[in-house]
Amino acid sequence: MAKAAVLGYGTVGSGVVEVLDTNSAEVEASAGEKVEVKYILDLRDFPGDKHESQIVHDIEVILNDPEIDVICETMGGLEPAFTFEKRALEKGISVCTSNKELVAAHGPELVRIAKEHNCSYLFEASVGGGIPILRTLNTSLKHEKIDSITGILNGTTNYILTKMDREKIGFATVLKEAQNKGYAERKPEADIEGYDACRKTAILASLMSGQYVKYEDIETEGITKITQEDFAYARSLGMSIKLLGMIKKNNSGFFTMVSPFLIPSENPLAFVNDVFNAIVVHGNMLGSTMYYGKGAGKQATASAVVADLIDLVIHKGSHMDVNLTDSPADLSDNGSYVHRFFVRVDENSEDQAKELFGSSIEVIESKDVFGEFAFVTDLISEKDFKAKYAQLVKAKGFLREL
Amino acid sequence: MAKAAVLGYGTVGSGVVEVLDTNSAEVEASAGEKVEVKYILDLRDFPGDKHESQIVHDIEVILNDPEIDVICETMGGLEPAFTFEKRALEKGISVCTSNKELVAAHGPELVRIAKEHNCSYLFEASVGGGIPILRTLNTSLKHEKIDSITGILNGTTNYILTKMDREKIGFATVLKEAQNKGYAERKPEADIEGYDACRKTAILASLMSGQYVKYEDIETEGITKITQEDFAYARSLGMSIKLLGMIKKNNSGFFTMVSPFLIPSENPLAFVNDVFNAIVVHGNMLGSTMYYGKGAGKQATASAVVADLIDLVIHKGSHMDVNLTDSPADLSDNGSYVHRFFVRVDENSEDQAKELFGSSIEVIESKDVFGEFAFVTDLISEKDFKAKYAQLVKAKGFLREL
């Protein structure tokens, strides 16, 4: 019998307990032994709750109990989660977590501490919610040379973009509606400004490179500037607009970015709608594979935490390698990264556009947009593009094309 | 240093050697030691080939070499592959394979033999080519109660259906074109009659149930009856037509089927096009996740074989459980399985259709089809549907709706 403690009895924490209750036979068969939740740490009491008797308010009770094999940290936020995880690992107690903020900020350090104390630190649920992407990168795809990871990593923004596209409603209206439905937070910045996707991109980039990619170093743009006009053009191009976390490794360097992208319909990410997340991984032998599912939600996220918990029980007393090190990643300047850009411009600017970007630019018209047109550039570096775009007198915005 | 033998130097076998060559550093890092291909078994010689010196013609050389840790069987077919794998496992040599025919026919027996001899039998590449679906079912999703697995498991038929839909060309023409391009075999029955998808469905069903589902017991229908009219209606319904392997477990039983289905656009399988494969798994906690990638092809399939090979090297001297047993699965009669059916019928049959299927049937017209109409039934069991359909005097065909 393995004994676990759950830190935080909120949405994900109570989901973890629910998964362990509901699927106890499957969990036992997978882990090779029964898994019991001995403690649930929370500041609150839960009178009448089925697990009331397991609630404790003091982390010391958990850390000083030699019976505890594994801890699931589902509190979120940096502190006190960081201190609690660190102290557990220093005692040789393995930890799994859904806390993307903490993993993005201190993951490499926590993995090192786990290694030093012969225990493990796993964080499947921190990226893509219930989608088993990190375990797949660490097992099935570990022998591939991964040259890109591109993902829809935030369900709230994908929901907003899907609704803007389908129902032809503006960003502000859809955001308000999403907030009313509880799909978006009252303070929506973490989602709509791309900060959440940025942390997940940092974790994926770190695992892909085996080095530490700081989330602060990732150029991040949210979806607040996306308009109905953008979608109208996207439809005439047969494309979708999605907020992507993008990581590319090629001969010119290692690039990371969070930004809205126009996505051609040949790319399976173009059809990932509503609150779903999906991650496309491209390997040198395997080609592209995509992993799709619920990027958030109580039970799906909890299921991913439990998958880690089971792995930790199976590997008690040993360190599971997760290819995440302290050594800082050598990110290239995005200025040299090359792609196509979609540009909107005033209707009388075609001459200037062609002068700047060449006569081969692809001009796009939409029957739903008046007084302007758009064009798609040839392949051009971010740096060159921005220099030219700055000279475009009547520019009305641009998007990157995947 | 681990020593491997590859049986069969054809498409997949030479791919395995190529992956081990190209990604040798990554393979070593993943396996924890170097992996060397000591022998390649093939009837042919390969003069001038980089690996000419490793070619042997006699299986005894491999089976009698105590240095061999692992065997990759990439010959395909039942014999002599079955005998070779069995003899290897009986000697305690772990085996991995891409041979779906053999796994579907003898997988449970081979897993049992591996267990008895403290070695392992893995077959990731037998389903979904490069898509890491089996390992995911056996690790990340092992604690879920899986209630359905639905997959596009054959790239050739998906290519044909995609092309029929996009280019509005008939089945026979597209098949001929696919054969000329090498996407379909000269003898195309294994693909177009659904036999290949049936074997993969049997493997997935066996893993899902932990019991042995015989492929012969799976009701299987191919794509040869799909017409341009079906696609015209599907387009007016906003749906796709795909050949699916379907496994469902619900209160009424455990159902399996290979059949073309109409797929609503909310389902991510609707957008899986060309030669790509994808598998949707639904778990009680996780909800739906989808795994997408190349279902065939030399390097992608080989990459999946190598992922298994690495696992076998890591777990040398122990048995890796794969949840596949000899005990026969208790499949329910599909007659009691309930879904909606799409039915095409002569234009003067509306009264009889409503008499048989109720006045609530949804009537569909297509601007591209004349002299007939179609309708979608309410939920109805296979058995009841077929009884009523048999009475429909001017019926022109039907499809199941997912």
Q: Contacts of residue A300 in chain B, CB cutoff 8 Å?
A: 285-287
ipTM of the complex: 0.96
Average pLDDT over residues A237-254: 96
Question: Residue A70 is part of a domain; what is its CATH number?
Answer: 3.40.50.720
Average pLDDT over residues B35-48: 97
Nearest to A26 among B140, B143, B287 (CB): B143
Average pLDDT over residues B151-179: 96
Q: Judge whether residue A116 has pLDDT over 90.
A: yes
Q: Is B326 a member of any domain?
A: no
What is the pLDDT, as a whole number, of residue B353? 94
Q: Is B83 a member of any domain?
A: yes
The CA distance from A125 to A98, in Å, is 4
Contact yes or no for A23 and B302 at CB 8 A: no
What is the pLDDT, as a whole number, of residue A107? 97
User: How many separate domains does chain A show?
Assistant: 3
The CA distance from A113 to A56, in Å, is 26
The CA distance from A97 to A81, in Å, is 10
| Inter-residue contact B361 to B378 (CB < 8 Å) | yes
Confidence of residue B352 (pLDDT cuts 50, 70, 90): very high
Average pLDDT over residues A192-214: 97
The amino acid sitting at B117 is H
| β-strand partners of B246 | B150, B257
The CA distance from B91 to A395, in Å, is 72
Q: Is B327 a member of any domain?
A: no
Phi, psi angle pair for B199, to nearest 5°? -65, -40
Q: Judge whether residue A354 has pLDDT over 90.
A: yes
Average pLDDT over residues A222-243: 97
Q: Judge whether residue B182 has pLDDT over 90.
A: no
Q: Judge whether residue B191 has pLDDT over 90.
A: yes
Q: Judge whether residue B264 has pLDDT over 90.
A: yes
Phi, psi angle pair for B379, to nearest 5°? -60, 130
Residue B215 and residue B261 in one domain:
yes
Contact yes or no for A293 and B289 at CB 8 A: yes
In whole numbers, what is the pLDDT of chain A averaged over residues?
A: 96
The CA distance from B160 to B370, in Å, is 24
Kindly state the DSSP code that residue A332 receives in the 8-state scheme.
P
Q: Judge whether residue A172 has pLDDT over 90.
A: yes
**Cα A121 to Cα A92, A114, B117, B141, distances in angstroms:** 10, 6, 33, 19
The CA distance from A74 to A10, in Å, is 8
Per residue in A88-99, pLDDT tens?
Answer: 999 999 999 999
Residue B309 and residue B345 in one domain:
no
Q: Which residues of A357-383 are buried (b: 16+ CB within 10 A; e: fewer)?
A: beeebeebebeebeebbbbbbeebbbe
Beta strands, E only, B22-106: 35-41, 55-56, 70-73, 94-97
Q: Contacts of residue A19 in chain B, CB cutoff 8 Å?
A: 143, 285
Q: Contacts of residue B131 in chain A, CB cutoff 8 Å?
A: 289
Kindly state the DSSP code that residue B254 receives in the 8-state scheme.
E
Confidence of residue B362 (pLDDT cuts 50, 70, 90): confident
Residue of A23, A124, A286, A323 best to disrupt the B interface, most CBs of B under 10 A? A286
Residue B172 and residue B75 in one domain:
no
| Inter-residue contact B33 to B98 (CB < 8 Å) | no
Q: Which residue has the tokens 């009986």?
A: B90
Of chain B, the end-to-end C-alpha distance in Å amounts to 49
Contact yes or no for A303 and B286 at CB 8 A: yes
Residue B108 and residue B164 in one domain:
no
Confidence of residue A182 (pLDDT cuts 50, 70, 90): confident
Under 8 Å CB pairs connecting chains A and B tally to: 166
CA distance A386 to chain B (A): 35
Q: How do A372-376 and A338-346 pair as beta strands?
A: antiparallel
Q: Residue A389 belongs to what domain range? A: 336-401
| Inter-residue contact B165 to B240 (CB < 8 Å) | yes
* Sequence-distant (≥ 6) Cβ neighbours of residue A189 within 8 angstroms: A195
Q: Is B230 a member of any domain?
A: yes
Residue A45 and residue A85 in one domain:
yes
Element (H, E) at B389: helix B382-391
Residue A285 and residue A151 in one domain:
yes
| β-strand partners of B288 | B282
Residue B282 and residue B344 in one domain:
no
Work out the percent of chain A whose per-residue pLDDT is above 70: 100
Residue A140 has which token pair? 């099935």
Q: Judge whether residue B235 has pLDDT over 90.
A: yes
CA Rg value for chain A? 23
Q: Which residues of B38-53 are buried (b: 16+ CB within 10 A; e: fewer)?
A: bbbbbeeeeeeeebee
Question: Residue B278 is part of a domain; what is its CATH number?
Answer: 3.30.360.10
Residue A261 has which token pair? 């992208």
Per residue in A292-344, pLDDT tens?
Answer: 999 889 999 999 999 999 999 999 999 999 989 989 999 999 999 999 999 99
Nearest to B306 among A143, A268, A293 (CB): A143
Dihedral of alpha carbons A105, A109, A110, A112, sign: positive
Q: Which residues of B297-324 are buried (b: 16+ CB within 10 A; e: fewer)?
A: bbbbbbbbbbbbbbbbbeebeebbebbb
Average pLDDT over residues B173-198: 95
Residue A110 and residue A208 in one domain:
no
**Cα A346 to Cα A350, A380, B61, B196, B257, distances in angstroms:** 8, 22, 75, 55, 56
CA distance B293 to chain A (A): 4
The CA distance from A41 to A59, in Å, is 7
Residue B265 has which token pair? 């656009």
Q: Judge whether residue A141 has pLDDT over 90.
A: yes
CA distance B128 to chain A (A): 11
The CA distance from B159 to B166, in Å, is 11
Residue B157 and residue B244 in one domain:
yes
Q: Is B329 a member of any domain?
A: no
Q: Contacts of residue A287 in chain B, CB cutoff 8 Å?
A: 130, 293-294, 297, 299-300
The CA distance from B81 to A42, in Å, is 57
Per residue in B336-350, pLDDT tens?
Answer: 999 999 999 998 899
Contact yes or no for A136 and B141 at CB 8 A: no
The amino acid sitting at A94 is S
Cα angle A304, A309, A312; round to 5 = 130
Kindly tell me the burial class for residue A346, based on how many C-beta atoms sit within 10 Å of its own C-beta (0-12, 13-18, 19 or more).
Answer: middle
In whole numbers, what is the pLDDT of chain B averaged over residues?
A: 96
Q: Contacts of residue A299 in chain B, CB cutoff 8 Å?
A: 285-287
Residue B234 and residue B278 in one domain:
yes
Residue B52 and residue B177 in one domain:
no
What is the pLDDT, as a whole number, of residue A183? 87
Nearest CA in chain B to A285: B299
The CA distance from B293 to B132, in Å, is 9
The CA distance from A364 to A236, in Å, is 8
Average pLDDT over residues A255-269: 97
Q: Quick check: helix, strand or coil at residue A25?
A: helix
What is the pLDDT, as a whole number, of residue B365? 87
Work out the percent of chain B whose per-residue pLDDT is above 70: 100
The residues of B that are catalytic are 200
The CA distance from A109 to B131, in Å, is 32
What is the pLDDT, as a whole number, of residue A179? 95
Per residue in B122-147, pLDDT tens?
Answer: 999 999 999 999 999 999 999 999 99
Mark out the alpha helices in A249-349 (DSSP H runs). Answer: 298-314
Of chain A, the end-to-end C-alpha distance in Å amounts to 49
Q: Is B238 a member of any domain?
A: yes
* Sequence-distant (≥ 6) Cβ neighbours of residue A154 within 8 angstroms: A191, A194, A196, A197, A200, A243, A277, A295
| Inter-residue contact B296 to B155 (CB < 8 Å) | yes
Nearest CA in chain B to A128: B289
Is residue A386 annotated as part of the catalytic site, yes or no? no
What is the pLDDT, as a whole number, of residue A396? 95
Please check if B318 is assigned to a binding site: no
Q: Is B373 a member of any domain?
A: yes
Please check if B92 is assigned to a binding site: no
Q: Is A327 a member of any domain?
A: no
Residue A63 and residue A151 in one domain:
no
Q: Judge whether residue B183 has pLDDT over 90.
A: no
Confidence of residue A246 (pLDDT cuts 50, 70, 90): very high
Confidence of residue A362 (pLDDT cuts 50, 70, 90): confident
The amino acid sitting at B154 is N
The CA distance from B371 to A299, in Å, is 50
